[in-house]
Amino acid sequence: MIPGAKLIHKTHTTYFSTPFPVHFYGMPNGKVYLVFSRFYEVDYGKTGLEFIFAVHKEFSFDYEKEELKAVYNKFYGTPVYSEMIDKPEPKIRTVKIYRNLNSYGEAQALLNKKAIKMRIQKNEAQSLAS
């Protein structure tokens, strides 16, 4: 089986504006994805839960070596520990918001499918290049 997204860090107390955990994953394309949830208003006085998939713009991930790297922030060129990824005022880009998921397990399954697809595309590109 092709490995999927690699969990880098999970935190329950975070700088993100959510009372829920934030999960950070390393992806085969070198990007760091984060998944977190928050409440949204469905109707007046009624809320639902949405899951946000985002890319962290300040860090990259060497998927093969399982190393977290700073891209251009104040940590650039120094060793980066997984706890350092959850920082004040993070620079992220939202990729997708899902309102039909019920758990972090479902969110991780979606991210794993995306990672597996990335690995397959990367392997096909490498085989065509050689």
pLDDT of residue 15: 83
Q: Where are the domains of the chain?
A: 6-124
Helix (H, G, I), strand (E, B) or coil at 91: coil
- Per run of 10 residues, the mean pLDDT along the chain (length 130 residues) is 83 86 94 94 86 94 90 71 88 95 94 90 71
pLDDT of residue 76: 66
CA 40 to chain CA centroid, Å, is: 20
pLDDT of residue 110: 94
> Which residues make Cβ contacts (< 8 Å) with residue 73, sequence separation at least 6?
58, 59, 91
pLDDT of residue 105: 93
Q: How many CA atoms lie within 13 A of 76 on its CB side?
A: 6
* Contact call for residues 30 and 60 (beta carbons, < 8 A): yes
pLDDT of residue 77: 66
